[in-house]
């Protein structure tokens, strides 16, 4: 359209500028759809674009018809804007703030309404043009609204891009990039919230600390890439096996924590032992390598007067006892004890050992 202002309204300029406008409109729709992770464009939309470009040339050079050309272009842009507004609402991530998505949808819909009115007016002969974008009252309103809605749409897209960037940054801060489970900081934050709620309700929860057995030997023998594959494999099995209410986090190199709300440590011990058995029976965790991962785990439960740190410390001590007992087992901490962190004697620890 800037070319029309600078170069006049010759047929060639009108045809080129109008062609670029409809092509850019469809590309814009495709961009929004790709951003929203849905289909980019239908084959019939490309076919419709081809028909529009053909008729644009026909009504410009072969059988000039300004009204038909204006109605066709505005109708197509109205379709594009309506599609953008609908797609932004339909595919808006439910967990994200609504403002940016509603802003874009409203701006796109307003633009669509303006173009639809213009298309109908020229299509039904309610308005007449002798030259393209003749300064009629309808065109003045149309250009004014286009001047408002296009920048709003651009600003809205910037808002959506900012929201997407914020979402990715939040995810990086919340989830471990390699395993997909909660990062240590996010796990501790969520577990602290559950601890406060549990203390207020005078309820309980259990925590298990899980460690992949002999993980260093995987790295040393097959390389760190194989170790990463093993970590992702075990994390995937854990995530699929736990319940929706359970909280899983990676709290160290090959160490995971599992919080089981409202569970006694005895029940939690059985659940964790079932998880241990699933991983032990899962086969090789590294493609084309005979590498079978096993887990050792320590379990304890929250009780009155505890903090999250004290529960995790007792579960960690139980984990050391499981390692000392020969690995690939689960140790449930005893009911009352004075624990020494790093204790290596499973029998001296006094916890209940589960190994299938």
Segment 111-151, tens digit of pLDDT:
899 889 889 988 888 877 766 666 677 677 777 777 777 78
| 355 contacts 275 by C-beta, under 8 angstroms | no
Instruction: Find the angle CA(84)-CA(89)-CA(93) to the nearest 5 degrees.
Output: 120
Q: Is the pLDDT reported for residue 77 higher than 70?
A: yes
Q: Residue 305, SS3?
A: coil
H/E stretch holding 209 reads strand 205-212
Q: Is the pLDDT reported for residue 256 higher than 60?
A: yes
Q: Is the pLDDT reported for residue 290 higher than 90?
A: no
In DSSP terms, 331 is beta-bridged to 298, 353
Handedness of CA 265, 271, 277, 280 (dihedral sign): negative
Q: How do residues 21-55 score in pLDDT, each as one tens digit?
A: 899 999 999 999 999 988 777 888 999 999 999 99
Q: Is the pLDDT reported for residue 210 higher than 60?
A: yes
| 314 contacts 333 by C-beta, under 8 angstroms | yes
Report domain extents, the chain: 2-172, 184-354
Provide the pairing of β-strand 330-332 with 295-301. Answer: parallel
State the pLDDT at residue 240: 94
Q: Is the pLDDT reported for residue 311 higher than 70?
A: yes
Percentage of the chain modeled with pLDDT above 70: 88
Half-sphere exposure of 248 (CA within 13 A, CB side): 21
Query: Which range (127-136, 146-155, 239-248, 296-305) has the least confidence?
Result: 127-136
For the entire predicted model, the pTM comes to 0.65
Q: Is the pLDDT reported for residue 346 higher than 50?
A: no
Mean pLDDT, rounded, of the chain: 86
Query: Which range (8-17, 25-34, 214-223) has the least confidence?
Result: 8-17
Chain position carrying tokens 């190994």 = 355
Cα torsion through 240, 244, 245, 250, rounded to 10: 40
State the pLDDT at residue 144: 74
Q: What distance, in Å, lies between the first and last C-alpha atoms of the chain?
A: 75
List, in order, residues 6 or more apart from 16 with CB less than 8 Å away: 3
State the pLDDT at residue 345: 42
State the pLDDT at residue 286: 76
Q: Residue 210, SS3?
A: strand
State the pLDDT at residue 57: 93
Percentage of the chain modeled with pLDDT above 90: 59
- Give the model's confidence band at 5: pLDDT under 50 very low, under 70 low, under 90 confident, else very high: very low
Q: Is the pLDDT reported for residue 340 higher than 70?
A: no
Average the pLDDT over 87-96 and give the result.
90
Instruction: Find the angle CA(287)-CA(290)-CA(293) to the nearest 5 degrees.
Output: 90
State the pLDDT at residue 112: 92
C-alpha span between 266 and 22 (Å, rounded): 67
Class of domain 184-354 (CATH, top level): alpha beta
User: How many other CB atoms are found less than 10 A from the CB of residue 210?
Assistant: 26
State the pLDDT at residue 281: 92
Q: Residue 298, SS3?
A: strand
State the pLDDT at residue 3: 47
Q: How do residues 147-167 score in pLDDT, each as one tens digit?
A: 777 788 889 889 999 999 998
State the pLDDT at residue 356: 59
List, in order, residues 6 or more apart from 2 with CB less than 8 Å away: none
């Amino acid at each position: 359209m800037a070319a029309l202002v600078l170069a006049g309204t010759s047929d060639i300029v009108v045809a080129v500028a109008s062609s670029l406008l409809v092509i850019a409109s469809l590309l814009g729709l495709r961009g929004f759809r790709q951003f929203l992770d849905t289909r980019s464009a239908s084959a019939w939309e490309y076919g419709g674009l081809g028909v529009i470009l053909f008729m644009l040339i026909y009504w410009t050079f072969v059988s000039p018809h300004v009204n038909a050309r204006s109605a066709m272009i505005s109708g197509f842009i109205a379709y594009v804007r309506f599609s953008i507004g609908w797609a932004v609402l339909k595919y808006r991530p439910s967990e994200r703030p609504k403002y940016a998505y509603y802003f874009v949808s409203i701006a796109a819909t307003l633009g669509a309404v303006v173009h639809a009115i213009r298309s109908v007016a020229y299509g039904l002969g309610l308005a007449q043009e002798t030259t393209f974008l003749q300064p009629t009252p309808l065109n003045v309103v149309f250009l004014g609204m286009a001047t408002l809605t296009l920048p709003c749409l651009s600003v809205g897209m910037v808002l959506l891009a900012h929201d997407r960037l914020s979402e990715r940054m939040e995810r990086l801060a919340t989830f471990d990039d390699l395993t997909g489970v909660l990062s240590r900081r996010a796990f501790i934050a969520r577990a602290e919230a559950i601890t406060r709620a549990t203390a207020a309700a005078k309820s309980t929860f259990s925590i298990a600390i899980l460690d992949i057995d002999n993980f260093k030997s995987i790295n040393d023998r097959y390389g760190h890439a194989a170790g990463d594959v093993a970590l992702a494999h075990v994390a995937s099995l854990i995530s699929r096996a736990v319940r929706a209410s359970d909280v899983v986090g990676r709290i160290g190199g090959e160490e995971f924590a599992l919080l089981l709300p409202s569970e006694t440590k005895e029940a939690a011990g059985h659940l964790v032992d079932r998880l241990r058995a699933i991983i032990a029976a899962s086969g090789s965790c590294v493609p084309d390598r005979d590498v079978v991962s096993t887990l050792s785990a320590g379990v304890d439960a929250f009780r009155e007067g505890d903090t999250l740190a004290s529960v995790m410390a007792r579960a960690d001590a139980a984990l050391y006892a499981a390692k000392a007992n020969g690995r690939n087992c689960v140790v449930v901490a005893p009911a009352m004890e004075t624990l020494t962190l790093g204790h290596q004697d499973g029998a001296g620890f006094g916890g209940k050992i589960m190994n299938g």
